[in-house]
Amino acid sequence: MGKKEWKLAMTSGFGVDPWLRTVAAGDLRAVESALGRGRLRLGLPATAQLGVRNRVVDSASIEVNRRARRAKTDRLDALKLVRMLVRVCYGERRAWSEVRVPTVAEEAARQVSRERTALTQEQTRRINQMRGWLATWGCALPRHRKNGWWTAVRDWAGAPLPVEVQTRLARAEARGAVVEHQLAELEHQQEAAVAAAAPASALRQLVQLKGVATTSASVLLDEGLVWRAFRNRRQIGGLLGFAPTPHDSGESTREQGISHAGNKRLQTISIQLAWSWVHWQPLSVLTQWYHEHFGTGKRARRIGIVAVARKLVIALWRYVTTGVVPAGAIVKVA
């Protein structure tokens, strides 16, 4: 679906060559007209066209030719998709993976946590930039910074920083003040959402668990812990991208590690939650399992925390959907 034109491919089943039409992008009347002509061309009854059912497909799940170079055009893509659609309609479950599309309200709710993530990254980038600028002059960024702190910084020779450098630092601090103000507004908005949430809501349930903060709970819910309507733990592991990827062919057997092909925001927040959970929920079964299997060695702990993150998100999903509290977890008193 391009910005200028859309390519439509229609067929009535296996063994029927698809019929291709091109319409202007966004011209829904032309789409309806093409569907009507396609119905007649394919010999379908007038009742065959009862409406349109949208299927949003994960592009990474579409089969492709494994040659080093392959042709790719809108025409070929449309033909491929309509043929795979026939297989799906005839009951083939693993022909492709479909995406759970959020509602308008669910998509709008994601903007708060996503904006906060972007502002936090911007704040980190700005601080790292100032550290780099100061390192050029043989000095470091002060830990505690008051107004006009750059005027008191001395270079490697004990001299004040050049005026141009001080001016650049001042502008960076001014930008940082705006970011900090916006972050405070977003945090206040998230806290207000928690206060206004019903006691039985998923948001209120999550923040009652010790170690789960407002921001973490908001990101989990905004990215689909509930609205994606998971059916099992494997679907959650697939979205996180923490599923193993074995390579077992003939006599060659090895583990390639986790796939990483998941939601990046959920990956980041789940790792942060896992470290927080291990710290604040020492009596939980999950924390004890982690210490038992990965308690020694820095590298082992970093590997094990990924397993904790996957298990924890699954446990939190069960908690907000069925009310089952994670084993041994501490629930904060309201």
Kindly report, residue by residue over 105-132, the tens digit of the pLDDT. Answer: 999 999 999 999 999 999 999 999 999 9
**Is residue 13 domain-resident?**
yes
**What's the farthest any 2 CA atoms get from each other in the chain?**
88
Identity at 200, one-letter amino acid code: A
Distance CA 43, CA 21 (A): 17
Q: Is the domain of 82 the same as that of 181?
A: no
Q: Is the domain of 11 the same as that of 84?
A: yes
> Which pLDDT score is estimated for 165?
96
Domain end, chosen from 89, 115, 149, is at: 89
The number of domains in the chain is 3
Q: Is the domain of 191 the same as that of 219?
A: no
Q: Is the domain of 160 the same as that of 75?
A: no
**Phi-psi label, residue 190: left if phi above 0, alpha if psi -120 to 50, beta otherwise:** alpha
Question: What pLDDT band is residue 135 in, cutting at 50, 70 and 90?
Answer: very high
Predicted confidence (pLDDT) at residue 333 exceeds the cutoff of 80: no
> Which pLDDT score is estimated for 192?
93
pLDDT 10s digits, 33-87: 998 899 889 888 877 766 778 889 988 888 888 887 888 888 999 999 999 999 9
pLDDT 10s digits, 269-285: 999 999 999 999 999 99
Q: Is the domain of 234 the same as that of 298?
A: yes
**Is residue 329 domain-resident?**
no
**Is residue 310 domain-resident?**
yes
pLDDT 10s digits, 183-239: 999 999 999 999 999 989 999 999 999 999 999 999 999 999 999 999 898 888 888
Q: Is the domain of 68 the same as that of 116?
A: no
> Which pLDDT score is estimated for 50?
63
Q: Is the domain of 209 the same as that of 315?
A: yes
Domain end, chosen from 25, 55, 89, is at: 89
> Which pLDDT score is estimated for 49?
66
The domain of 166 spans 104-196
pTM over 0.85: no
